[in-house]
Amino acid sequence: MFIHLGGDMVLKAESIVAIIDHNSQDLSQENVNFLKAKKKQKVTIKVTEDKPKSFVITEDEVYLSPISSHTLKRRAETTTIVSEDE
**pLDDT tens figures, 18-61:** 998 887 656 778 888 888 999 999 999 999 999 989 999 999 99
- Residue 10 belongs to some domain of the structure: yes
- Residue 25 belongs to some domain of the structure: yes
Which residue segment(s) compose the domain that 24 sits in?
2-77
- Residue 8 belongs to some domain of the structure: yes
Neighbours of 34 (CB within 10 A): 17
How much is the average pLDDT of 73-78? Answer: 84
- Residue 29 belongs to some domain of the structure: yes
Question: What pTM does this model have?
Answer: 0.81
Is residue 85's pLDDT more than 80? no
How much is the average pLDDT of 60-83? Answer: 82
Query: How many domains, in total, are found in the chain?
Result: 1
| pLDDT the model gives residue 77 | 81
